[in-house]
Amino acid sequence: MDFEKLTRVMRKLALQAGDKIMEIYNADDFEVKTKSDDSPVTAADEAADALISAGLRAEFPDVLLVTEEQAESHKESAATFLIVDPLDGTKEFINRRGDFTVNIALVENGTPTRGVVYAPAKDRMFYTLADGTTVEEAAPFDVDTVGEVTPIRVSSPDNDALVVVASKSHRDQATEDYINKYSVKDSTSAGSSLKFCLVATGEADLYPRVGRTMEWDTAAGHAVLAGAGGAVVDFDTHAPLAYGKDGYANSFFIAYAPGVDLKKA
């Protein structure tokens, strides 16, 4: 894999998809449909998926592409694959809350190693460089010209005063019970894969997820966090969260800055 090329392509496609998403987001109205699993889907999901899929298949024709919006791809598997959630946080999009992201990642031997997370309504973009380290690029963004980039790094957490981030749409009693095992200075909510990015930048120390997610929801954020020195582990075993599983469904997990004294469930 040419990682320099991958970085350029992922960044460009994320920005182009973000532009398409924002066109629909800023319209007076848009249609919301329901998929077979009862989750919502919009024209923005579909348009972004078509754009990203075409771009990745043109540039990396020999690499398996798994994408949320193409159910047939969920039946395939490979040691190395690209995985896409063209619009993570559809509920945030529908409710016009802004916490939605474009997610593109590369998984190698069960681990997300490269990725981009772009939040077009928030003007924030995070991605891994060819060497696997993570940067945040400052807005305004230009598809063809890289702007100012800043290397990002996880916090050095204080276990007596942790900052926790949790899901905005899926924050339940089980999540609260787990968070209460820690000494928390501040707790915040965010949508989509932005939660991984807040840990990656040191804006939060810990993100527990007690609820269903799929690998396309997490792979890009996982790669971004790993490139900033963080980790994502299984909620029960604390083993590294693995990818390429049958059906691409995740176990519950914890994303965190090393130094956090992880608690058992």
Cβ-in-10-Å burial (0-12, 13-18, 19+) of 211 comes to middle
Domain count, the chain: 2
Residue 205 lies in domain: 162-256
Q: How far apart are CA 79 and CA 62, in angstroms?
A: 12
- Show which of 151, 183, 203 is a domain's final residue: 151
For the annotated binding site for substrate, the residues are: 68, 87-90, 217
Whether residues 84 and 15 share a domain: the answer is yes
Whether residues 138 and 200 share a domain: the answer is no
Give, in order, the Cα–Cα distances in Å from 117 to each of 12, 22, 141, 156, 263.
12, 15, 14, 23, 28
Q: What SS3 class is residue 1?
A: coil
- Show which of 120, 151, 182 is a domain's final residue: 151
Per residue in 191-245, pLDDT tens? 889 999 999 999 999 999 998 999 999 999 999 999 999 999 999 999 999 999 9
Q: What SS3 class is residue 256?
A: strand
- Show which of 151, 174, 199 is a domain's final residue: 151
- Does residue 239 contact residue 233 with C-beta atoms inside 8 Å? yes
pTM of the model: 0.95
Angle between helices 3-25 and 43-59 (to 10 degrees): 160
Per residue in 127-141, pLDDT tens? 999 999 999 999 999
Flag whether 261 is in a domain: no
The pLDDT score that the predictor gives to residue 169 is 67
- Does residue 211 contact residue 172 with C-beta atoms inside 8 Å? yes
Whether residues 145 and 216 share a domain: the answer is no
Q: How far apart are CA 105 and CA 28, in angstroms?
A: 32
For the annotated binding site, the residues are: 68, 85, 87-90, 217
Q: Residue 83 — very low, low, confident or very high, per pLDDT cuts 50/70/90?
A: very high
Whether residues 120 and 176 share a domain: the answer is no
For the annotated binding site for Mg(2+), the residues are: 68, 85, 87-88, 217
